[in-house]
Amino acid sequence: MRIDVITGHPPLFAGPLSESIVKRAQEGGYAQIVLNDIRDYTHDKHRTIDDTPYGGGAGMILKPEPLFECIETLQRERSYDEVILTTPTGQVYDQSLCKRLSMHENLIILCGHYKGIDQRVVDELVTMELSIGDYVLTGGELAAAVIIDSVVRLIPGVIGDGESLLSDSFMDGELDCPYYTRPPEYRGLRVPEDLLSGDHKRVEAWRRRASDRLTRERRPDLLDEASRRRKKND
Ligand code: 6GU
């Protein structure tokens, strides 16, 4: 998979893309992540990427010309499955969207700006607007990094069998259970006996109960959704 990020702040991606699993995915050739600097598509001396909004008001708006030129330049080289804009007014991103995106070959992620981007770019070139949750970030870069991280780990081969894709929280519409490692007792705090039993059936039963309880306590909405899905498939 190739992901082209379009941003006014490429250095914001240095950390998230150059560590751990996302780094390994790039080195292994599973994911190619290309940072495209909007300023490289400006033509004025000051390399201006934003301007004040028509009609007045606070904040700056990303100008249309550099974004059109950048996206069209990329699209001349290859065809893209989606042109995603990260914006707090987008559809809320979740694991099922993540799975869909992970099956694509080429993606563009255009990072929204503090106040916004010229709507003509959205109307003409953007195919999908995504928000990562109901709170406001200073820009779409961190949201783009979240999307990239969550998508790249689902590319087949990126995470090995030992690394537990199947037991992720949300894989079955339920939260994952708590985990423990050695030692069996620390400061008088015991690991649950079922987990120490070595009995695979007891361990599985404990995990299932713990998942159910956690999901009921914290995310009853997920259980409702899962039962709706089951009904639909019946
Ligand atoms: Cl995608 N962008 C911004 N600026 N804020 C957000 C967001 C995106 N998702 C949640 N908050």
pLDDT tens figures, 102-128 = 999 999 999 998 789 999 999 999 999
CATH number at residue 25: 3.40.1280.10
Listed residues 120, 152, 184: the one ending a domain: 152
Average pLDDT of the residues of the chain: 94
Position 226 scores a pLDDT of 72
205 token code pair:
């039963």
CATH number at residue 173: 1.10.1270.20
Evaluate whether residue 158 is within a structural domain: no
Q: At 167, is the pLDDT very low, low, confident or very high (cuts 50, 70, 90)? A: low
Position 229 scores a pLDDT of 76
Q: At 168, is the pLDDT very low, low, confident or very high (cuts 50, 70, 90)? A: confident
Same domain, 127 and 97: yes
Evaluate whether residue 43 is within a structural domain: yes
Q: At 224, is the pLDDT very low, low, confident or very high (cuts 50, 70, 90)? A: confident
Residues within a 6 A CB radius of ligand 1: 86-88, 112, 131-133, 135-137, 139-140, 143
Q: Output the CA angle 124-126-127, nearest 5 degrees.
A: 110
- Give, as one character, the DSSP assignment of residue 53: P
Evaluate whether residue 34 is within a structural domain: yes
**Which of ligand 1's atoms lies nearest the C-alpha of 139?**
4
Among the residues of 78-199, which ranges form H helices? 95-102, 119-125, 141-152, 193-196
The Cα–Cα gap between 86 and 142 comes to: 9
Listed residues 119, 152, 185: the one ending a domain: 152
Is the CB of residue 70 less than 8 Å from the CB of residue 36?
Answer: yes
Q: 9-39 b/e with 16+ CB inside 10 Å = b? A: bbebbeebbeeeebeebbeeebbebebbbbb
Position 90 scores a pLDDT of 97
**Which of ligand 1's atoms lies nearest the C-alpha of 113?**
4
DSSP β-bridge partners for residue 128: 84
From ligand 1's centre to the CA of 32, what distance in Å?
24
**Which of ligand 1's atoms lies nearest the C-alpha of 144?**
1
User: Which domain range does residue 88 map to?
Assistant: 2-152
pTM reported for the whole predicted model: 0.93
Minimum CA distance residue for ligand 1 atom 7: 88
